[in-house]
Structure 1
């Protein structure tokens, strides 16, 4: 298939993890890969390194790098006002709706869909106060169904979805709309920052909000570092939404939770691009109490099973590479000799793979050590989410070695996260909160599995291909 170049005027920025191994040889991306450039590709890289895309060759290379996650696009300035309608679904919560509408700058038409609110008059009064258009649904169908109703009344090229419990920052829609200079882009999402009170639950949420996907830009696709974006705040191309509609419905009305993930994955499967742009922020109201926070995490978990049935293979909770997994398993079983042999095997296997593709093997030991660490942390979160009762039972059994191994799985991920972030909570309360968070989410996943009679959301995936290699001379 012919590559559609990134258009003239776009710049790119390298991903922080991208490394130039030698002239024309790059490593990085998500999933990790090695990209080798031809002489023409190296010339195109020189153009991208010093300025925006100005040639077809540079545009093709920019597309290749941004699709692989080795780099991220920076769009040119907007040429005129974008054609945008802001869509806000709401079910009661008039105070939050008031705050949301007050945060808009009034540049674009706003359509509020009342999803059968009990206080219909209150919602209508807030909408009228801010000069927005109101569409009323008589039967509550959830946010996805409400957005579908809105799309029947939208005629603009772009749709800016915004939840009623969000507060936008100035210029958020303009800056996201600039990305649509790329004809392949279907949707782009900002970073959703938690707007939480100064309670223990609120401070934890500010450090580990479930909708906050971090500060690193990304192409959004299953199996990558950023596998989805929420529609709490999202700008989308209306024609792309229509193209992936199911029986006329853009959002699956059967999904009360996870309808945004389903839409993003359908857009990806159709060949569109979806991007995450964390340099643009929108704030999101968060629960003030632990019951509210953990209850919402459990509801999010219930979406895993229906999503897994709609998108088989896209929702593995844990990806295991054979050698690092064997190393971690041996360490947890207190078999240091076996762990050393497995770690040596991982190094040897990777060195042979790299040499077979004429790639320098510098830094392999550190890379494999990092892979072992990530496997250990991944196993810890997986165990906490889906096997917490088993871990608790093992903790009370005799044997300090066994207890230490289990405690490392239970405590390792939250303690590591606390050390990296240094949030506004002490390590003990942060660790307890993170464990409760994972258990609540896992309970929701198990409940969804039982309802939909599937085990896919709790089955780890074995990854046999640790590194991708683009064919020699492809660019």
Structure 2
């Protein structure tokens, strides 16, 4: 029986936060520090804090759970995405078993085991041509004579574990010393089933043992890897900025974890996150905990991996429907974005009319929020900007074969496509550098070159998957009323 055929235990109806648990309101949601009105989350929403709720909240937005009222308030803020958890306690490292799926990477296993010494480890050798050898008697090694894929290997290791929690680590990662301490605290929330760290690039000299500077492809991977979910902590929810977390490094609550779909050799992490979410369990991403990944260093392997990731989109669309859509937008916003992309006076006028209507409806929903007209205008502008970026990304990434054909036969579209590719790349670079100043230095021109090659590779894989599966679900946009 594959993991996808197993039933998923639903999250308990009552997921009470324990006494002593704390949450922190994201103060970016409080305009001018006023906690009475909170605007944020994904999708964006407005929360009005009552006098009673304000009385439970410190001036800096911290709430400590101590009774049913604070429990309900903390849970509401967490689920809205306007607050983040600040657990004060959690399981210990000895309650975790690390499962390492590996094929033909003895050096990586040796390096990883040195970094996690003292924690129970199960190494699953997934059909290595030369069997993996571990001399530490405390490490259990399970060998499969044939390669079944990382999903099956992880499931085999998890089934052998007896601890309450299981940490999945790929053989090409190295966790920081405190990664488990940071992550395990989240499990003091009984509704949390999966927690993941930030995955960053392994230092060049540490990975390769020399002083040579990294090349362009490696510098891009170190700053913009598809495994790196970014510098901001978040709840992991489909159709949000952090829609999944990579299986290269994650910790799960073993007795409720649904297991990986063994029919998937790519996108299995996306699938498992979405299935756990559908069952009512919560997933957290905490970038304070860090795990370093030995990234690919040459252009060919980097782009080949991106193409491989793209092939999983068609299968995700089969399994999860609209959640795998390349574009999700309201119909009015889609019309406005399309009108703006025409770059005509009539198109611009039509877009302004639609956006004004959107802002007006939003203003009415904001009620007595201070400076409501300004907030409505700002939120509408951000939504339009995000819509434009989403459309530009789709043109350059998901639909680039169609865009290429249109560019060949239409000089007007060719000019638009070039402008869109440059503008989207520039905005993406600026947003990343502002959000995470520690991002390895890569100038805008070199970044845009790599970003566009990344898009071409992923899009090629996406279309390959669509053709192979004869299902266009991964290309179908979702337009909502």
Partner SS, residue 321 of structure 2: coil
Q: Does 1:436 align with 2:453?
A: yes
CA drift at 1:334: 2.2
Query: Could you tell me the TM-score, scaled by structure 1's length?
Result: 0.88
Q: What residue number does 2:197 align with? A: 190
Structure 1 residues 19-168: aligned runs within 5 Å: 19-20=30-31, 24-46=36-58, 49-78=61-90, 82-104=94-116, 106-120=117-131, 123-124=132-133, 127-129=134-136, 131-168=138-175
Structural mapping, 1:305-316, within 5 Å = 305-316=314-325
1:251 deviation in Å?
A: 1.3
Number of residue pairs matched by the alignment: 451
Answering whether residue 451 of structure 2 is matched by residue 445 of structure 1, we say no
Query: 1:2 Cα shift?
Result: 6.5
Gaps of 5+ in 2: 1-11, 205-213, 434-439
- Match of 1:8, SS? coil
Q: Is the 8 A contact 2:90 2:187 kept in 1?
A: no
Partner residue of 1:256 out of 255, 258, 265:
265
Task: Report the secondary structure of 2:306's partner residue.
Answer: helix
Q: CA deviation at 1:267?
A: 1.0
Q: For the residues of structure 2 that align with 1:149 and 1:128, how far apart are their CA atoms?
A: 21
Aligned partner of 1:411 in structure 2 is: 422
8 A Cα contact 1:45 1:61, kept in partner: no
Q: Per the alignment, in what secondary structure is the counterpart of residue 160 of structure 1? A: strand
User: Is the CA contact 2:406–2:413 (under 8 Å) kept in the aligned structure 1?
Assistant: yes
Mean CA deviation greater in 446-455 or 294-303: 446-455
Residue 295 (structure 2) aligned to one of 282, 286, 289: 286
1:447 CA displacement:
1.4
Q: Per-residue displacement from partner, 1:43-83 (whole Å, max 9, x unpaired)?
A: 33459935522222112111111111111101113475551
Looking at structure 1, the residues matched to 48 and 37 of structure 2 have their Cα atoms a distance apart, in angstroms, of 5
User: Comparing 40-49 with 191-200, which one deviates more in the overlay?
Assistant: 40-49
Match among 239, 247, 263 for residue 223 of structure 1 = 239
Deviates more, 1:31-40 or 1:216-225: 31-40
Q: CA RMSD in A?
A: 2.4
Does 2:326 match 1:317?
A: yes
Instruction: Give the unaligned 5+ runs of structure 1.
Output: 245-249, 465-475
Answer whether contact 1:324 1:368 (CA < 8 A) is retained: no
Query: CA 1:4–1:60 in structure 2 vs 1: closer, same or farther (change >3 Å)?
Result: farther
Shift of 1:112: 0.4
Check 1:365–1:447 CA distance in 2 against 1; reply closer, same or farther (3 A cut). same
- Cα separation, 2, equivalents of 1:82 and 1:35: 40
SS in 1 for 2:64: coil
**Secondary structure of 2:194's partner?**
strand
Counterpart secondary structure, 1:183: coil
1:198-213 aligned at under 5 Å gives the runs 198-213=214-229
- The TM-score, its normalising length taken from structure 2, stands at 0.87
In the aligned structure 2, how far is the partner of 1:348 from the partner of 1:42? 33
